[in-house]
Amino acid sequence: MKEMIDRIKQKFNAKDINQQKATLVFFTVEKKDLEGCVLYMKEFEGYGNLTMITAIDWIEKNQFQLTYHLHNYTNRTDVSIRTYIEREKPSMVSIHNLWAGARVFQREIKELFGIDFPGCPRVNDNFVLEGWDNIPPMRRDFDTKKYSEETYFPRPGRYKKDNVQFMEENLYPVEAEVKKSIADTVKKK
């Protein structure tokens, strides 16, 4: 794994390298280098399986983090390649030509975060949120409470009950009466 990490550092100027265990490493590359790095990992390092693409909204930094999780079946190792893109009109190159499964991940990320993947087939089709007309719901500036209050009818709140008291009254009624009697006696004195 160390030799592979050294090659990635040299070829793609990888940063923030974090080897979490002997079989798992995370590193960051620039947005412009991501497609080449992913292709290199697939073709030359044996990471032929794209297991997932994830997104994180770093609203404080005004960025999205995309992480491409790859697996190598031969040596049973995983590599996760991170890159950062701007939140303002976010767009990332599509890798659907490298893995057909990337289409699904990219469509989901487009719908939930609003990150565009130009050239990805059906990226603009509804995935889960049919008829959604609000900002993407996984963005941190989406107000879930406000959306719920505006969309769904109000219902009366739920009552709270003390579990200990409930059990005493319903499961152990004799003991509850004794405790209550003792408490009343103590209050009178």
pLDDT digits (tens, 9 = 90+) for 70-86: 999 999 999 999 999 99
**Model pTM?**
0.79
pLDDT digits (tens, 9 = 90+) for 40-57: 999 999 999 999 999 999
**CATH code for the structural domain at 2-158:** 3.30.460.80
Question: How do 77-86 and 63-72 pair as beta strands?
Answer: antiparallel
pLDDT digits (tens, 9 = 90+) for 156-167: 776 777 888 887
Q: What is the percentage of the chain residues whose pLDDT exceeds 70? A: 98
Which token pair is 33?
């280098």
Q: Is the pLDDT of residue 176 over 70?
A: no
CA separation for the pair 31, 27 (Å, rounded): 13
Mapped onto helix, strand or coil, the DSSP state of residue 10 is helix
Assign residue 62 a region: left if phi > 0, alpha if psi is -120 to 50, beta otherwise?
left
Which run of H or of E encompasses 79? strand 77-86
CA separation for the pair 101, 136 (Å, rounded): 22
Residue 79, phi then psi, degrees to nearest 5: -130, 135
Q: Is the pLDDT of residue 23 over 90?
A: yes
Domain ranges of the chain: 2-158, 161-189
**Average model confidence (pLDDT) across the chain:** 92
